[in-house]
Amino acid sequence: MITTFVVALLALLLGAGIVAGVWRMQHRNEVRQASSEADLIRDRARREAQQLLQDAEVKAKERLLAREQALEKEWKNKRKDLSKQESDLAARDQQLERGQSQLKEQQNEFAAREKKLAQREEIVDKEKREAEALLKAQRSKLEEIAGLSTADAKAELLRQLEYDARKEATRIIKKIEENARDRAKNLARIITTQAVEKVVPFLPLEGAVAVVRLPNEEMKGRIIGREGRNIRAFERVTGVDVIVDDTPEIIMLASHNPLRREVARVTLEHLVEDGRIHPARIEEFHEKAREQVDEVIMQQGRDTLFHLGIPDMHERLIHLVGRMRFRMMHGQNLLEHSIETAKIALFMAQALDANGDIVKRAGILHEIGHIEENMGDVHPALAASHLAKRFGESPAVAACIAHLHADHPSTLPEAHLLETAENLALSAPGVHKHGLEKYIEHMDSLEQLIMGFKGVKKVYAMKAGRELLILVDSASVDDEYTIWLAKDIAERIEREVKFTGQVKVQVVRETRFVGYAT
């Protein structure tokens, strides 16, 4: 029994030792396995860290590369902008050089004109002296005749009249022969020019023609009237050329004066709408059209001032601003030029902390001197300054406008901003159209030249200056005077105006008497 117990105890102890050994061996295996897993985790973590580090370096390099590319692109854009600015500056320098050369040419032309005028004055003085000598000889001859008998004096007078008539006839025949030779050299060109003028005016259509659309082709005949009565009355009342060609349902109105052309267009549209076309109706609708265009002018002026942010201005100045819409100057529309000048001046004033209200008011008003017709020989800039001051604008605005004249410089910074803005507006490429501008100046000067004659009430230069329609005051002149007036105007045009071909001078004296039957 004891032996069994001992054996059992030994067996138990041996089993416990075996279990303990197995457990230790298992524990060691687990430790070794955990250690190897830890090494694997550390290796994996190390590799992941290295991968993250490499990714971070790649991303950093990509960001640096993108930054470098952006900087390079920005640098290229700046280089491009600088190159563009340099080319713009070079172009402006070339424009300034061209302007200086044109100014020199104009100065040379003015000097040549002054020389020609001096020569003409010498010729006139010489002719005047010759005329005085002739008058003295005539007086002495008359004194000799006075001592003769009645029959002898009458015979001597007849011989003298015959001699003068023959001399005058010889002079006229010689002049006719010279004119015939000169015209024969250019006959083909003159005929071609006159043919073209019947279809289109002397200048491009967009500068001098308004188009009126008709509801049907029959309306053309009603506008022309019997033997052209209506179309002649329309041209006499409105002062524009009516061009009727083969274009269906279209009539064109040609005139160098945009305001006159607009009034004629509105008049014709109303006549077409009414349908009753005759001379009395034309005059009635012309007056209504003038009133309607005046309203359009006022609305145009108010819209322009509202667009520029100018809330208050005298009604007279608003009317002058609106009228600039129908006037060309510097090769462009005068209102558009004034608006552009005002905007440029306002932008510069805002950038330089100057008074923006002064420069935009002066900018929109600096050309109204070209519109006002009662300023005489005053320079347009001084006329605009006077009008601005007269109708309630501040002295600063008037001084800025007057600064555009060389004899009235101003120390106000706004005045210099206005001058710079106008120069910028005028120096834009494609602004100057000297042909149209010279044409309008020629037509205006021709009308003003004839307005200086006694009794002249209205003058219309038509057919591109080839025909002059002159309306005289029937109360102050008679029919005999109109005959001599046409001759005097034609002679003065021959002396003072350059032209090709012929200029038709048509003087109209019209008397109206109105009676009422009751």
Single-letter amino acid code for the residue at 127:
E
Predicted structure pTM score: 0.46
Predicted local distance difference test score (pLDDT) of residue 198: 32
* Separation CA 22–CA 14 (nearest Å): 12
User: Position of tokens 């005929």?
Assistant: 191
- Please give the structure tokens belonging to residue 250: 């279209």
The answer to whether 394 and 414 are in contact (CB under 8 A) is: no
DSSP 46: H
CB count within 10 Å of CB 225 equals 17
Q: List b or e across 114-147, with b for residues whose CB sees 16 or more CB atoms inside 10 angstroms.
A: eeeeeeeeeeeeeeeeeeeeeeeeeeeeeeeeee
The answer to whether 345 and 360 are in contact (CB under 8 A) is: yes
Predicted local distance difference test score (pLDDT) of residue 192: 32
DSSP 333: E
* Separation CA 470–CA 486 (nearest Å): 9
- What does each C-alpha distance from 207 to 210, 436, 470 come to in angstroms? 9, 7, 24
Predicted local distance difference test score (pLDDT) of residue 400: 92
Helix (H/G/I), strand (E/B), else coil: 431: coil
What DSSP string runs through 365-409? HTTGGGT-SS-TT--HHHHHHHHHHHTT--HHHHHHHHTTSTTS-
Q: In three state form, how does the secondary structure of 214-262 look?
A: CCCCHHHHHHHCHHHHHHHHHHHHHCCEEECCCCCCEEEEECCCHHHHH
Assigned CATH topology for domain 436-508:
GMP Synthetase; Chain A, domain 3 (3.30.300)
Segments making up each domain of the chain, as ranges:
194-295, 325-432, 436-508
- What does each C-alpha distance from 358 to 315, 320, 361, 366, 414 come to in angstroms? 18, 18, 5, 12, 7
Predicted local distance difference test score (pLDDT) of residue 361: 92
Predicted local distance difference test score (pLDDT) of residue 421: 83
* Separation CA 163–CA 207 (nearest Å): 53
Predicted local distance difference test score (pLDDT) of residue 395: 92
Single-letter amino acid code for the residue at 318:
I
Q: Phi, psi at residue 400, to the nearest 5°? A: -60, -45
What DSSP string runs through 247-307? STTEEEEE-S-HHHHHHHHHHHHHHHHH---SHHHHHHHHHHHHHHHHHHHHHHHHHHHHH
Average pLDDT by stretches of 10, the chain with 518 residues: 82 83 83 84 86 87 88 88 87 86 85 85 84 78 61 71 73 74 55 33 49 83 83 85 80 82 87 83 87 89 90 90 81 83 86 87 89 76 90 91 88 88 68 54 77 83 76 82 82 76 79 68
Predicted local distance difference test score (pLDDT) of residue 201: 32
Q: Phi, psi at residue 198, to the nearest 5°? A: -75, -20
Name the burial class of residue 460, with classes exposed (0-12), middle (13-18) and buried (19+) by CB atoms within 10 angstroms of its CB: buried
Predicted local distance difference test score (pLDDT) of residue 434: 47
* Separation CA 246–CA 77 (nearest Å): 56
CATH class of 194-295: alpha beta
* Separation CA 161–CA 167 (nearest Å): 10
Radius of gyration over every alpha carbon of the chain, rounded to an integer in angstroms: 47
